[in-house]
C-alpha cells in the first residue's frame, strides 16, 4: 500500500509541477508524518526536490524518441540481441524490457525454443502473432512514444503478479560505478520490479551508453549475472564487470566472444 501511494504521489506532483505538504495530506488522506516520509523517499530517488512549504517535480532527463534511437548503432544492437537470445532456455518465462536493443530479440530466438514472455514492448507485441513458439502476455498501460511501450501505474500492479526465470533488461545509461540509469520515475519502478522478481538477469547495453549518468538508478551491475555489449566495449567496462561479478559477453556482427 505504501509503495502504491508513493507512485500515486509522484504522479500527482508530476502533473501539477509542485504541491504543498498540506495539499498532499488532504488529497491522499494521510498524516503529515506519513507524507514527510513519502517525500523523503521520493527525494532520495531524484523524483522531487524540496521547496519552501512542499516539493516540486524534478525535470526528467530528455531522451530521444524511440523512432530516432532505432537508427543508432543498428548492427551493434542486433548482434547484442543475438548473443542474448542464445542465453534463453527452452521453457523460460521471460520479462523483456522496452528498448531499441531488446526489440530485436524475437528475431533471434530459435523457433524450436518455446518461451512465455511478459512485455510492454510494442515492437515485440506486433511481431508475436507469427511466432508460434512464443506465448505472449501483454502489460497494460498508456502509450509512451519515447520508449515505444505501454506504461502507467496499472502496469506496476499487473507486473507484481508474475515471477520470471529471466529478465532481459536495458538502461538509458551505465555509469562508471555500475549504476543502471533511467530517465523517469515510472521506468525506475517498472525495471526495479522486474529485476526483483527474476531469478536471472541479463543486461543488453551497447557500449555507447557506458559512462552516462542519470537521475535515477534502478539497479547496479552487481544485480546482473550476465551483461551483453558490442565490440566497441572499452577496457573500463570489462574491468567493471569483473569487479561486479557479472559475466560479460562481447558481441560482434560475425561472432560472439565470451570473456
Distance CA 8, CA 150 (A): 17
pLDDT score, position 254: 55
Domain ranges of the chain: 2-57, 66-258
Instruction: Please write the tens of the pLDDT for every residue from 122-152.
Output: 999 999 999 999 999 999 998 887 788 998 8
Grid cell listed for 147: 520508449
Q: Which of 50, 31, 10 lies closest to 187, judged by CA? A: 10
In degrees rounded to 5, what are phi and psi of residue 85?
-60, -30
Report whether 227 contacts 247 (CB < 8 A): yes
What lies within 8 Å, CB to CB, of 131 at 6+ separation is 106, 109
Residue 153 binned pLDDT confidence (cut-offs 50, 70, 90): confident
- pLDDT, mean of residues 201-229: 92
Q: Does the model's pTM come out above 0.85?
A: no
Instruction: Please write the tens of the pLDDT for every residue from 63-121.
Output: 444 444 454 557 889 999 999 999 999 999 999 999 889 999 999 999 999 999 999 99
Instruction: Please write the tens of the pLDDT for every residue from 29-54.
Output: 999 999 999 888 888 776 788 888 78
CATH topology of domain 66-258: Rossmann fold (3.40.50)
pLDDT score, position 73: 57
Residue 202: alpha-carbon gap to chain centroid: 11
Grid cell listed for 96: 523483456
Query: CATH number of the domain at 2-57, please?
Result: 1.10.10.10
Q: How many CB atoms lie within 10 A of CB 163?
A: 11
- pLDDT, mean of residues 154-168: 94
Amino acid at each position: 500500500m505504501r509503495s502504491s501511494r508513493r507512485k500515486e504521489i509522484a504522479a500527482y506532483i508530476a502533473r501539477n509541477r509542485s504541491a504543498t505538504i498540506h495539499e498532499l495530506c488532504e488529497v491522499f488522506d494521510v498524516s503529515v508524518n506519513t507524507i514527510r516520509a513519502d517525500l523523503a523517499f521520493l527525494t532520495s530517488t531524484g523524483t522531487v526536490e524540496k521547496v519552501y512549504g512542499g516539493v516540486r517535480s524534478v525535470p526528467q532527463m530528455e531522451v530521444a524518441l524511440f523512432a530516432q534511437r532505432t537508427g543508432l548503432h543498428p548492427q551493434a544492437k542486433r548482434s547484442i540481441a543475438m548473443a542474448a537470445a542464445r542465453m534463453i532456455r527452452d521453457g523460460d518465462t521471460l520479462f523483456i524490457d522496452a528498448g531499441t536493443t531488446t526489440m530485436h530479440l524475437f528475431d533471434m530466438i530459435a523457433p524450436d525454443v518455446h518461451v512465455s514472455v511478459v512485455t510492454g514492448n510494442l515492437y515485440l507485441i506486433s511481431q508475436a502473432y507469427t511466432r508460434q513458439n512464443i506465448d505472449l502476455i501483454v502489460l497494460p498501460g498508456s502509450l509512451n512514444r519515447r520508449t515505444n511501450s505501454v506504461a502507467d501505474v496499472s502496469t506496476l500492479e499487473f507486473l507484481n503478479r508474475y515471477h520470471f526465470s529471466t529478465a532481459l533488461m536495458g538502461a538509458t545509461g551505465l555509469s562508471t560505478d555500475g549504476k543502471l540509469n533511467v530517465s523517469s520515475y515510472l521506468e525506475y519502478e517498472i525495471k526495479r520490479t522486474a529485476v526483483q522478481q527474476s531469478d536471472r538477469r541479463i543486461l543488453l547495453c551497447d557500449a555507447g551508453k557506458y559512462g552516462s549518468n542519470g537521475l535515477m538508478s534502478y539497479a547496479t551491475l552487481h544485480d546482473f549475472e550476465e551483461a551483453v555489449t558490442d565490440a566497441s566495449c572499452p577496457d573500463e567496462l570489462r574491468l567493471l564487470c569483473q569487479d561486479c561479478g557479472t559475466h560479460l559477453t562481447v558481441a560482434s556482427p560475425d561472432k560472439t566472444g565470451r570473456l
